[in-house]
Amino acid sequence: MKLIKFIPVIPLCLLIGACNMGYLDIDIGDYDYHLEAWNSQNMLDYQIRLERCFGVPDTIKIKVEDGSTGKLNHLTWYHTTIPEIYSDIKIREKRIRDENKSGFSSYSLKVSYHTKYHYPNHIIEKINGRIRFEYFITLMPLEEGDMDIDIGDYENQLAAWNSQDMRDYQIEVRYSESNYSENYGVVTMSSTVRNGISTSNGSVLYPEIRTSIPAFYAFIKEEEERIRKAHDGKCHCYLYVLYDTEHHYPIQISSGGYNHFGRHDLLEITLMPLPEGGE
């Protein structure tokens, strides 16, 4: 009797599985409302941060001015402006509807939107439950074009450094540079200072890397002047400086947004005192 009871279950399970084939789940939210709200803002200057969470995870930053990036993209997995991302949503919707007509695979497309600026901030597409495409999008308006300079208590820190009369030390500098669309990598250099004179000539390729603490103090003022002169009223320009509380040297200098390419520089400095007159 038990065997007879379980026989009908097998074709029933197969039937249930067959019913799930060709499943289509599309939810792009209130697309027309958000697109109209986006367009009504007439936001033409902004930065977008795209995080790709499928395949090889990656993050890209893109600067948009006057509604355009001003150049063609050499990468193909992302679009460069919010209107292009909106257009891509409709293209994806049509494609997965066409692919779903075969009836052998399940597809889903989900889109959510930022409630203040009305841009798509999350897009995820799946096939048979597996992610085929996923973006997280973050937007930062640039229309204010503010300038943020905080070099701390520069004069007092410099005076405290000079009062130590430290003339023998070693410094290691870690320099990283990037722009809105890509990172250029990290460079590390070291320099030994004896009797106040550096044994290193520095680098022609990386003039931001200085070879002594007084030279870095001079660089801070040079960077401040450069940012003030180059500020174009659109991009967010900044300069931040942190100091070591014991030896009073700059341990971190970060700056960015002060030229056409939206450059971002970070200098991290580590100092080690050396015995006077040593080798």
CA dihedral 81, 177, 140, 76 (to 10 degrees): 20
Q: Are residues 151 and 222 in the same domain?
A: yes
Please say whether the beta carbons of 158 and 217 come within 8 A: yes
Let me know whether 157 and 109 are in one domain: no
Handedness of CA 127, 14, 18, 109 (dihedral sign): negative
Segments forming the whole domain that contains residue 51? 23-141
Is 278 contained in some domain? no
Q: Specify whether 171 is located in the same domain as 114.
A: no
Residue 106 and residue 202 share a domain: no
Does residue 184 sit in helix, strand or coil?
A: strand
The rounded mean pLDDT for the chain is 82
- Tokens in use for 55? 């395949």
The reply to whether 235 falls in a domain is yes
Domain boundary (109, 126, 141) is at 141
Domains contained in the chain, number = 2
**Domain final position from 141, 165, 188:** 141
Q: Is residue 183, in this structure, part of any structural domain at all?
A: yes
Q: Is residue 95 part of a domain?
A: yes
**Last residue of one domain, picked from the residues 111, 141, 171:** 141
97 and 180 in a single domain? The answer is: no
Is residue 77, in this structure, part of any structural domain at all?
yes
List the chain residues with pLDDT less than 50: 1-20, 71-77, 180-181, 260-261
Residue at 123 is within a domain: yes
Q: What is the pLDDT of residue 113?
A: 93
Q: Are 79 and 182 within one domain?
A: no
pLDDT of residue 145: 59
pLDDT at 102: 84
Say if residue 37 is in the same domain as residue 58. Answer: yes
Q: Can you list the alpha helix ranges (DSSP code H) found in the chain?
A: 2-6, 9-20, 31-41, 82-100, 154-164, 213-230
Q: In this structure, is residue 3 part of a structural domain?
A: no
CA distance 86 to 37: 12
